[in-house]
A = this chain, B = another copy of it.
Amino acid sequence: MLRTDSLAQYPSAMERHHTRPDPAEIGKFPARCVHCRANIPVRPRVKTLKDLEPLTTRLLEIQHLNSAASLLDWDQETYMPAGSGRARADQLATLQGLAHDTFTAPEIERLLAQWVDPATGLPPESPDDAWDEPSRALLREVWRDFSRAKKLPSEFVKRLRRECSLAQQVWAEAKEKSEFRKFLPNLRTVVALKQEEAQYLGYQDSPYDALLDSYEPGMTVAQLNPLFATLRKRLVPLLQQITNAPISIDDTVLTRAYDTTRQLEFGRLVLTAMGYNFDTGRLDLSAHPFTTSFHPSDVRLTTRVYENELAACLFSCIHEGGHGLYDQSLDTERYGTPLGESLSLGIHESQSRLWENCVGRSRPFWRCFYSYLQQLFPEQLANVAMEQFYTAINRVKPSLIRVEADELTYNLHIMLRFEIEQDLMEGRTRVEELPDVWSEKMRSYLDIVPGRDAEGLLQDVHWSLGAIGYFPTYTLGNLYAVQFYNQALKEIPGLNSEIEAGRLTVLKKWLNQKIHRWGRTFTPDQLVRRITGGPLSPEPYLAYLEEKFGALYQLKAPG
């Protein structure tokens, strides 16, 4: 077939020498003239994103379907009338099915087959058929998504979606009644389906790797196991030290009565200072805080607000704001392609954790913002010193519920889930054994055991959604966050003083330049090396925790 658009690869040749290269030789050097068969003495130009337009136009349509589905999701969590859940589920199933079918249709395969070498997942690298870097990255990532999607039979995708939709409903009822055995048969089905999925996707060492790769491209059990072992070895004793510390922190100041409207006002104030743009964003209420995006010009946050829990609204605003800044700063020009998409769940979470913990729970931040908070709540805070407030928001206390955990114990909740998921996927643990396993691990890591399933293994929605392999990205986010933040402290002159002065956008701009604008141009591993000069590592994070909480709880330096 004559690809007339590619003739433009030989512009000067066409003008000066020959009128038309042989269509069969387009992209080659030398190509021969279709008329006289003589070699055309001009190299084809390096191909760019412009040459990929037949593909990116198609991807953009799929993105519009996905964005519409995301709006349906957002609406479901915020404003949808209670009685229309079933209709919404049907609408979502149609949109998501259509997006999947369009992506895996022969059209995309035909386009990719022209450009990508299936052996490498990249365009062939030769001087005669050259692509620029963005195009190579785009083709690599689209090929990755496409080949993963193609491995899953359409029938399987529908079955998985149906079973998870059912499992989610049963989970909600089971949690409501705090009865794990109600959810057990569905969880067994979900685990079996995820094992099946891993077989379709393929893996080297562990079926769990196939699932991890969905959320954190390239991540494996072989990398995570030593990483979590290091965390376990250092965090469990650190927590014990804190529990036995001479200092005990009183955080009752956070449970005084705080007007909810004013709490939201403060949330908006901090978000605005962070550089979150309300002209292209919103803040609404939902049962569980989340961030969603339909385009960089429409990125929405949600939070929750309770009169007697000041920290809930405050830190969820900052946390979701971190996610929101990432999505608002993605490359609009490359919207709809992987280059305009966020990189991985771990990297996304690094943005929220960096803002929530490294910034939002730091002294420099509160040296600026505490006086605003006091002005909004004089009755509650006028007599509370900033240092007292700072220690209150950093109190470490083992608790049953992951989403309410402090900065330190949070990772132990993740570790427990990671170990359980891995054992389930590798067949070492059966679903029936989970209640005992859960209790035992909680006792071992946190020295606290749930009395009810609702506060134990029924607390998270993830497994009912089939999102096995997702949890580790929360801890990866913590690790990346500290690595990135340490680098920001090195590279941004006087970052702490800027934060103390409320100029949070210097940090936002650094993150824009270093992370947000690149989309999926680099892999997570490439990105962290590019920014910090080294690979993902638990050391900076552990050093950060040991220093921060060592000081706060007046612990003796180890050894």
A279 near B82: Cβ-Cβ < 8 Å: yes
A90 to B184, CA, bound (A): 44
A209 to B281, CA, bound (A): 44
Chain B residue contacts of A67, Cβ below 8 A: 87, 91
Would A95 and B294 be within 8 Å (CB), given that A79-B282, A279-B83 are in contact? no
A182 to B82, CA, bound (A): 46
A297 to B90, CA, bound (A): 12
A61's partner among B60, B81, B94, B294 (CB-CB below 8 A) is B94
Does A298 have its Cβ within 8 Å of any Cβ on chain B?
yes
A72 to B79, CA, bound (A): 13
A84 to B86, CA, bound (A): 29
Does A100 have its Cβ within 8 Å of any Cβ on chain B?
no
Does A295 have its Cβ within 8 Å of any Cβ on chain B?
yes
Q: Mark A190-213, 1 if CB is under 8 A from B, else 0.
A: 000000000000000000000000
A87's partner among B72, B79, B279, B295 (CB-CB below 8 A) is B295
- Measured between C-beta atoms, what is the minimum distance from A421 to chain B in Å? 33
Which of chain B's residues has its CB closest to A61's CB?
B94
Chain B residue contacts of A75, Cβ below 8 A: 71, 75
Considering only CB atoms and an 8 Å cut-off, how many residues of chain A contact the other chain? 37
A294 near B91: Cβ-Cβ < 8 Å: yes
Which of chain B's residues has its CB closest to A67's CB?
B91
Does A64 have its Cβ within 8 Å of any Cβ on chain B?
yes
Which of chain B's residues has its CB closest to A94's CB?
B64
Chain B residue contacts of A335, Cβ below 8 A: 87
- Interface positions of A from 267 to 303, Cβ below 8 Å from B: 277-282, 284, 294-295, 297-298, 300
Q: Mark A50-91, 1 if CB is under 8 A from B, else 0.
A: 000000000011001101110110010001111110111011
B282 near A81: Cβ-Cβ < 8 Å: yes
B280 near A83: Cβ-Cβ < 8 Å: yes
A81 to B87, CA, bound (A): 26
- Interface positions of A from 164 to 218, Cβ below 8 Å from B: none
A65 to B83, CA, bound (A): 20
A64 near B282: Cβ-Cβ < 8 Å: no
Would A298 and B81 be within 8 Å (CB), given that A64-B95, A94-B65 are in contact? yes
Chain B residue contacts of A69, Cβ below 8 A: 68
- Measured between C-beta atoms, what is the minimum distance from A338 to chain B in Å? 18
A281 near B91: Cβ-Cβ < 8 Å: no
Which of chain B's residues has its CB closest to A277's CB?
B83
A67 to B68, CA, bound (A): 10
A153 to B477, CA, bound (A): 52
A83 to B284, CA, bound (A): 17
- Measured between C-beta atoms, what is the minimum distance from A218 to chain B in Å? 31
- Measured between C-beta atoms, what is the minimum distance from A30 to chain B in Å? 41
- Measured between C-beta atoms, what is the minimum distance from A73 to chain B in Å? 11
- Measured between C-beta atoms, what is the minimum distance from A95 to chain B in Å? 6
A297 near B94: Cβ-Cβ < 8 Å: no
B81 near A297: Cβ-Cβ < 8 Å: yes
A294's partner among B65, B87, B98, B295 (CB-CB below 8 A) is B87
A504 to B83, CA, bound (A): 23
B294 near A83: Cβ-Cβ < 8 Å: no
B84 near A294: Cβ-Cβ < 8 Å: yes
Which of A68, A79, A86 has the most chain B CB atoms closer than 10 A to its own CB?
A68
A279 to B86, CA, bound (A): 13
Chain B residue contacts of A277, Cβ below 8 A: 83
A72's partner among B71, B81, B82, B297 (CB-CB below 8 A) is B71
Would A72 and B83 be within 8 Å (CB), given that A61-B94, A88-B298, A298-B88 are in contact? no
Chain B residue contacts of A281, Cβ below 8 A: 81
A84 near B282: Cβ-Cβ < 8 Å: no
A83 near B297: Cβ-Cβ < 8 Å: yes
Chain B residue contacts of A298, Cβ below 8 A: 80-81, 83-84, 87-88
Which of A64, A67, A95, A300 has the most chain B CB atoms closer than 10 A to its own CB?
A64
A24 to B441, CA, bound (A): 68
A241 to B483, CA, bound (A): 83
- Measured between C-beta atoms, what is the minimum distance from A370 to chain B in Å? 30
B68 near A91: Cβ-Cβ < 8 Å: yes
Which of A83, A279, A284 has the most chain B CB atoms closer than 10 A to its own CB?
A83
What 9 pairs between A and B have smallest CB-CB spacing?
Answer: A87-B295, A84-B298, A64-B94, A84-B297, A83-B280, A83-B279, A64-B91, A68-B68, A87-B297
26 contacts between A and B (CB under 8 A): A60-B94, A64-B90, A64-B91, A64-B95, A65-B94, A65-B95, A67-B87, A67-B91, A71-B72, A71-B75, A79-B282, A79-B284, A81-B278, A81-B279, A81-B280, A81-B281, A81-B300, A83-B277, A83-B297, A83-B298, A84-B280, A84-B295, A87-B295, A87-B297, A87-B298, A91-B294
Question: Hey, which bits of chain A sit against chain B, CB under 8 A?
Answer: 60-61, 64-65, 67-69, 71-72, 75, 79-84, 86-88, 90-91, 94-95, 98, 277-282, 284, 294-295, 297-298, 300, 335
**5 more A-B residue pairs beyond the given contacts A61-B98, A64-B94, A84-B295, with a C-beta to C-beta distance below 8 A:** A80-B298, A81-B297, A87-B294, A87-B298, A91-B294
